[in-house]
Amino acid sequence: MPATLEVKCANEDCELDMFELHYTYDMPDDVTVADFSCPYCGESRFLEEIQL
């Protein structure tokens, strides 16, 4: 099963509250939430990983 990363956007002006990133290929070990941006508002500084 590919790895999944649950992320939320903490930007108060953004309508998207959470989304999942599904890795379907080998991601480098040093990839973090900071490497992505919100697909709705485009910001990266507001993304936070949801800890399960």
pLDDT in tens, the chain (52 residues): 567 889 999 999 999 989 988 876 777 878 888 899 999 999 989 999 998 6
Domain that holds residue 41: 4-49
Number of neighbours of residue 43 by Cβ within 10 angstroms: 14
Whole-model pTM: value is 0.73
**Tokens describing residue 13:** 């002006």
The radius of gyration of the chain from alpha carbons, rounded to an integer in Å, stands at 11
Domains in the chain: how many in total? 1
Q: Which residues contact 49 (CB under 8 A, 6 or more apart)?
A: 5, 6, 7, 33
